[in-house]
Amino acid sequence: MANNVNNYLSVVTVTPEGQKVWDSIIERIDALGDNKHLTGLFYEADAKGYWIVPEGEYAGDKVGAKWAFPLDYDSDGISIESAWGPVIPLAEYIAEEIGKVDPSVQLLMTYEDEMPNFIGVTTFNADGVDIDNSIDYEEVREYLIDKNPELKKLWDEEEEDWTDEDEALEIMSDVQWDLYNAWQDENTEWSTR
């Protein structure tokens, strides 16, 4: 079973013209019907429901993940669950589409793997990806240890292991999501161009 990745793409700055493009993309997502597999934004399906993908292309490259489904969406953002990776190419496509009518568009996407093997935050402008910040599992663990004194006491630097793994995992499950959100907030940046 694939690790699920939670993605949240939100509108930070958009003109009324850009909002119309965002809204039209949301309407296209809504029109995907019950399935709502986001590959449907790029390809048609045959009668059996298989994507008709031109030779030499891989459908996952357009979305950024093997599969991706919207969980919730509105005029301000979209929550997406995907397999194995974040939907950066999809968000980049959306930013570039809006950028055609709104050169000042800014979108923000936060994402985290359910394990978590990684967490990240990516900002987008009219040209696509602006800044992509992410950390992998070891960096995530280091961040949690650094931010939580109880975890710090349970980490053996020399052995590079927990002194009491069960207690450490219990503490981590209590604090990790708040700390991940704090990390994402700290690492949200916009270009000053």
Q: How far apart are CA 121 and CA 132, in angstroms?
A: 6
Predicted local confidence at residue 48, as pLDDT:
83
Give the integer Cα–Cα distance in Å for 122 and 5.
14
The whole-angstrom separation of Cα 63 and Cα 52 is: 15
When pLDDT is averaged across residues 10-35 and rounded to a whole number, the result is: 94
Confidence of residue 133 (pLDDT cuts 50, 70, 90): very high
Give the pLDDT of residue 132: 92
Write down the domain spans for the chain. Answer: 4-134
Query: How does 25-58 read in b/e, with b if 16+ C-beta sit within 10 Å?
Result: bbeebeebeeeebbbbbbbeeeeeeeeebeeeee
| Full-model pTM | 0.89
Question: What is the tens place of the pLDDT at every residue in 48-102?
Answer: 877 788 888 887 899 999 899 999 999 999 999 999 999 999 999 999 999 999 9
d(CA 143, CA 175): 12
